[in-house]
Amino acid sequence: MTPANKPQGRAPELSAPGERPQVAQAVRTIDSQTLFGTTQQVLIAHQGETYKLQITRQGKLILTK
């Protein structure tokens, strides 16, 4: 196959010797209305830490520890 005919796309991720190759995983999409409901902030527990995700007055999202 010539370079002009080569399919376009992302190259596979390379891993270091002895590591497992990275496998593509599906990304979940959660609508912010589902996540927040009627509130302006939610708390997220992650690896023993608590993070706050909040909606600003301008409608943007801020994540803080």
Give me the CATH number covering residue 48.
2.10.70.10
Q: How many domains does the chain have?
A: 1
Residue 57 within a domain = yes
In this prediction, residue 24 carries a pLDDT of 81
pLDDT in tens, 14-60: 656 677 777 788 999 999 999 999 999 999 999 999 999 999 999 99
In a domain, 42, yes or no: yes
pTM for this one? 0.59
In a domain, 6, yes or no: no
The residue segments making up the domain with residue 64 are 37-65
Domain membership flag for residue 21 = no
Q: What is the pLDDT of residue 19?
A: 73
Q: Which residues of 10-43 are buried (b: 16+ CB within 10 A; e: fewer)?
A: eeeeeeeeeeeeeeeeeeeeeeeeeeeeeeeeee
44 falls within a domain: yes
54 within a domain of the structure (yes/no): yes
